Structure 1
Amino acid sequence: MSAPAVPNLEPQSYDVIVVGSGHAGSCAALSAHESGVPGSRILVIDKCPEEWVGGNGYFTAGAHRTVHKGLEDLLSIVQNVDKETAFTIDMDPYTSEQFTEDIMRLGNNRSDPKLVKAVVDGSRDAVGWLVARVKMPFLLSFNRQAYLVNGRQKFWGGLVLSVQDGGKGVIRAHREALKGAGIETWFDTPAVELIYGNGGIEGVVVQRGENLVRLTTPCVVLACGGYEASTELRGRYLGEHWKRAKVRGTPYNTGDGLTLATSIGAALRGDFNGCHSTCWDANAPSDHGDRVLSNQFTKSGYPLGLMVNARGERFVDEGEDFRNYTYAKFGREILLQPGGFVFQLWDSHVVGWLRDEEYGDAVVKKIWAQTPEELADKLAVEGLEDKHRLLRTLEEYNNAVQAFITENPSLRWDPAIMDGSSTQGSSKSLTIPKSNWALPVDQPPFLAVKVSCGITFTFGGLAIHPDTAAVLSESTVEPIPGLFCTGELVGGLFYSNYPGGSGLTAGAVFGIKAGQEAAKRRK
């Protein structure tokens, strides 16, 4: 495929070009450098302006899910645990079998087992590499993944690692590492065409201002995300109702990687009807994330309370599983509700357990009331259509919880375990249960917040080889020489739902592989 004419500009040559400045792309660039490619021979390009550097990784909490052997295995890589604190921590090991089972279970066993194995088997080494190579400031995620119960920090849900300052810290560490390696980034530089010959990738055409520039290279790593920021593509693949979802992260992930790769015969794989979504502040921006509040628009306190739609009805089992395993699919359920929004509700039993970074006074609009009737009146102003149905929902729920407590007087509420505190007793039960963490919502003051669906990334993407991250050809199912892929653009790994913290880990695992393989093609 020939490149368009380039006026007044000489072609430039690189050994590796990475498309995308986020976590996965940065891992690929740094891995290529570590594998012997000089920093001056590696180029990162991104169509975003510099102030939007980092892709979706910038908007995360920095969580990395990894196999580990327990607390002792992680103490050497985290920066927020002293000896005294370590004695107060309860943390079970997280095995390869558990990680694999979590991905497969949440994906209804549709995930590509070879891709899953690559991520799981590479997870701990990738975390270690991020510490050693990128100086990633890992922390134990007390604020998001542990509850203080009886003086003990009890971790839950298999996920224990985050990064200081969340996604901002992730991208800051990468930018410093790239600078130290002498790797340049061109912003405002969209890739518009891959140059492909008999021997594989030969270069990429980019837009630089008003000019098209041909960059020659034997290796291109695509790490430019999915299509979640494209209203048109969301409607085409996910359904018309997804056009009203709020974009959690960068507005620049509009499917460019799919277009570039398929134009030279790359294969598509995965769940093009599925995506990662979550409970998101209804007052957040619609078309892009907020660079200051970033992940603080997440509203993940629903397991401790209730969620009701505009009709005043519950629609999911808020206590079905730990939040890590339900938030991605509950975001989708919120979008399907009337108006595409719902209300999260709590009373004074649990308000103190809500995380400040998501529910602080400066972060979210809080709706307080002293009685259920007052709460219903205030929610009517925010879009509640049936005040009486909301009051019946609360009454039915409270009656079921009280009946269960009466039948199970020895059971104790514990947010750090799946405690079995339920609405499903022998004398009363609900059509939609709350399977864990069920307490009466009857103690004033009452609190509500309005939430919508925030879309993070799409699950459908490019087919890759699990060992090399090479993009596969649709016609031959063999690797396209010189073309690699990592990050959210990888297809076939997640279906329908996903375990929290797996995305950044997968981006690192396949980014490292892509960089290593790209270095081997250096001429």
Structure 2
Amino acid sequence: MEPDVLVIGGGNAALCAALMAREAGASVLLLEAAPRAWRGGNSSHTRNLRCMHDAPQDVLVEAYPEEEFWQDLLKVTGGLTDEALARLVIRHSAGCRPWMRRHGVHFQPPLSGALHVARTNAFFMGGGKALVNAYYRSAEALGVRVRYEAPVERIEMAGGRFVAAHCAGERITARTCVVAAGGFESNRAWLGEAWGVNARGERPAENFLIRGTRFNQGVVLRELLDVHGAERTGDPTQAHMVAIDARAPLYDGGICTRIDCVSLGVVVNREGERFYDEGEDFWPKRYAIWGRLVAQQPGQIGWSIIDSQAIGRFMPPVFPGVQADTLPALAEQLGLPVLRFVQTLQDYNAACRPGRFDHTVLDDCRTEGLAPAKTHWARPIARPPFYGYALKPGVTFTYLGLKTDDTAAARFAGAASPNLFVAGEMMAGNVLGKGYTAGVGMSIGTAFGRIAGANAARAAAGRAPGTLGALIEAEQAATQGNRHVHA
């Protein structure tokens, strides 16, 4: 039977769309490219959702008002963001948790020592995999049909209107469609095409690792952009790109491969030289710039260097660091030029100015007369043993996507599609032109997944798409008419 709403994708945004459409009374078919065991895309590797709130709320402490959230986003994107859509996401983040709970998502109480994160981010109990599993259970209980191992190979469009999707030799028609199939981060050929050859004659993308799913090949994205002429947003080289352990697997390394001690020490390239301010801002706001910084270095590799003072102050990675009792011995073990490395560390140590070290605030421990400076948390690396962690760029998701508006409709030749909507990574570039701040990807996916699903159901019923207000109306109706609780 032809569904009212076809959802292409199987992660957070796709599931939010499917649930919202089904709650609105539409029949829904969801196509997930991955096998059931690997369902959920990059959402399986997530941990939290960035949330606006004006006062303490359940698992959130203190307050994180709209303007502060917006300023944080403005800073990391350098202004490359659509303010109207960004503020839509921010406002939506304030009230989405009750809906998430109704679909079986549980949140973790604030942990001791992590209160500065609990002010801005709500953490999922059991992480992203538990969230994804809860949504699938709820979707199946509500009657959403799910097909696994069902990658879409081709899309049929007619004048900006969705007609059909081709999957495993089958032509699937639907009244409306939500595309939430992720970016192209797993497509190494496309990454190579986007990054090309640098001034050193290197092909940087050949050294990239993929933090998340191997199934985000960008087939649907490329089809809509290059074949059907959907309006685009974002730079194909911009991505959520983190500096991760160089020993991580090619795909699906996830959060545990991240190296979180960068702000507690220094980072050098293969010449043994520093290249950026390691103490620029709090780690949750700055961790996602380091993948791109390392990607710009020779060989697309770097090393995070700390001493024993830093141990116990960061989330330990899955692999132990290289350890030595002297800096020359550490350089030798890491394969770095010993004299240059030691000189870099000596120059840094000499430039550190005394202050009151406090990793929970922007403290006054800084360097003086050093380029690049380290503006916070600068302490001499002088207490053995010393540790080194090799870093490579780890791509989480790409920012090239479909241009949209506050109805989540895809756009063709200046007009909104009447029945094709977009959510998640496929449109995140509207809000994230560059940079990242922890948890905002889930905020974007949840907001636009829910808007896309609600509007797909409305369009299938012959009603005009609505904005965030329409979503809230649909949610209130669902709360009154479809009260269901999942253990």
- State the TM-score, normalized to the length of structure 2: 0.89
2:66 match: 96
Does residue 81 of structure 2 align to residue 137 of structure 1? no
Does residue 46 of structure 2 align to residue 107 of structure 1? no
SS in 2 for 1:456: strand
2:220 match: 257
Shift of 1:498: 1.7
The alignment yields a C-alpha RMSD, in angstroms, of 1.9
SS in 2 for 1:494: coil
2:472 match: none
2:343 match: 392
Tell whether the 8 Å contact from 1:364 to 1:449 is kept in structure 2 after alignment: no
Structure 2 counterpart of 1:518, from 452, 456, 472 = 456
Structure 1 CA distance, aligned partners of 2:119 and 2:22?
A: 32
2:166 match: 205
Does residue 6 of structure 2 align to residue 17 of structure 1? yes
Shift of 1:45: 0.4
Which region of structure 1 is more displaced relative to structure 2, 272-281 or 195-204? 195-204
Over 3 Å counting, the alpha-carbon distance change for 1:265 and 1:379 in structure 2 is closer
Does residue 329 of structure 2 align to residue 378 of structure 1? no
Structure 2 counterpart of 1:459, from 395, 399, 411 = 399
1:269-313 per-position Cα deviation (integer Å, ceiling 9, x unaligned): 123331110011101112x114xxx31011122111111111111
Unmatched segments (≥5 aa) in structure 1: 1-11, 79-90, 406-410
Tell whether the 8 Å contact from 2:279 to 2:374 is kept in structure 1 after alignment: yes
Structure 1 CA distance, aligned partners of 2:299 and 2:119?
A: 34
SS in 1 for 2:396: strand
2:475 match: none
Q: Which runs of 4+ in 1 moved over 4 A?
A: none
Structure 1 CA distance, aligned partners of 2:160 and 2:90?
A: 33
Tell whether the 8 Å contact from 1:486 to 1:507 is kept in structure 2 after alignment: yes
1:279 match: 243
Structure 1 CA distance, aligned partners of 2:63 and 2:383?
A: 37
Tell whether the 8 Å contact from 1:370 to 1:445 is kept in structure 2 after alignment: yes
Does residue 397 of structure 2 align to residue 488 of structure 1? no
Over 3 Å counting, the alpha-carbon distance change for 1:315 and 1:273 in structure 2 is same
Does residue 261 of structure 2 align to residue 322 of structure 1? no
1:319-371 per-position Cα deviation (integer Å, ceiling 9, x unaligned): 00111222222111112222211111111212111213xx2xxx113211122
1:453-482 per-position Cα deviation (integer Å, ceiling 9, x unaligned): 10011111001112x111111x1x221111
Structure 1 CA distance, aligned partners of 2:351 and 2:54?
A: 40
Shift of 1:141: 5.6
Shift of 1:417: 0.7
Report the residue type matching 1:270 in the other structure.
G
Tell whether the 8 Å contact from 1:223 to 1:257 is kept in structure 2 after alignment: no
Tell whether the 8 Å contact from 2:153 to 2:220 is kept in structure 1 after alignment: no
Structure 2 CA distance, aligned partners of 1:199 and 1:296?
A: 42
Shift of 1:483: 0.3
Does residue 264 of structure 2 align to residue 304 of structure 1? yes
Structure 1 counterpart of 2:50, from 57, 65, 69 = 65
Structure 2 CA distance, aligned partners of 1:321 and 1:198?
A: 47
2:359 match: 415
Tell whether the 8 Å contact from 1:28 to 1:512 is kept in structure 2 after alignment: yes
Does residue 116 of structure 2 align to residue 155 of structure 1? yes
Tell whether the 8 Å contact from 1:371 to 1:445 is kept in structure 2 after alignment: yes
1:84 match: none
1:191 match: 152
SS in 2 for 1:365: coil
SS in 2 for 1:17: strand
Shift of 1:140: 4.4
Structure 1 CA distance, aligned partners of 2:82 and 2:188?
A: 28
Tell whether the 8 Å contact from 1:65 to 1:158 is kept in structure 2 after alignment: no
1:352-411 per-position Cα deviation (integer Å, ceiling 9, x unaligned): 11213xx2xxx113211122222222222xxx2x1111111111111111xx11xxxxx4
Structure 2 CA distance, aligned partners of 1:272 and 1:199?
A: 23
Tell whether the 8 Å contact from 1:200 to 1:218 is kept in structure 2 after alignment: no
Shift of 1:418: 0.7
2:324 match: 369
Structure 1 CA distance, aligned partners of 2:98 and 2:70?
A: 20
SS in 1 for 2:212: coil
Structure 1 CA distance, aligned partners of 2:183 and 2:135?
A: 21
2:30 match: 44
What percentage of aligned pairs have identical amino acids? 30
Tell whether the 8 Å contact from 2:276 to 2:372 is kept in structure 1 after alignment: yes
2:469 match: none
Over 3 Å counting, the alpha-carbon distance change for 1:129 and 1:271 in structure 2 is farther
Structure 2 CA distance, aligned partners of 1:314 and 1:128?
A: 46
Shift of 1:166: 1.9
Report the residue type matching 1:460 in the other structure.
L
Unmatched segments (≥5 aa) in structure 2: 197-202, 462-487
Structure 2 counterpart of 1:338, from 287, 298, 302 = 298
Over 3 Å counting, the alpha-carbon distance change for 1:189 and 1:156 in structure 2 is closer
Report the residue type matching 1:397 in the other structure.
Y
Shift of 1:50: 2.1
- State the TM-score, normalized to the length of structure 1: 0.83
SS in 1 for 2:323: strand
1:164-243 equivalent positions in 2, closer than 5 A? 164-197=125-158, 200-207=161-168, 212-239=169-196, 240-243=203-206
Structure 1 CA distance, aligned partners of 2:86 and 2:118?
A: 18
